[in-house]
Amino acid sequence: MSATYTCDKCGMSVNMTCATCDAPLENGTITTAAGVTVQVSNCPNGHGKVKSPLCCGQDMTCSI
């Protein structure tokens, strides 16, 4: 199942896939060097990860 990000403010939702292999991205988190946890979407085939998208000036959220 791909990561579905939803805007808490307006309700818009997006599904994300990898442009390299077209696989649905999977929800995950990373921790920065400063100790901050950031929600990301990962390619299950190792092509990388992206930070959660923005909508209405704030990060969209994804239920894990």
pLDDT tens digits in sequence order for the chain, 64 residues long: 667 889 999 999 998 899 999 999 888 889 999 999 988 889 999 999 998 788 999 888 876 5
Q: Are 18 and 47 in contact (CB under 8 A)?
A: yes
pTM over 0.85: no
Residue spans of the domains in the chain: they are: 4-45
Question: Which of 17, 64, 14, 62 lies closest to 44, judged by CA?
Answer: 17
Q: Which residues contact 52 (CB under 8 A, 6 or more apart)?
A: 5, 38, 39, 40, 41, 59, 60, 61, 62
Contact 25, 53 (CB under 8 A): no
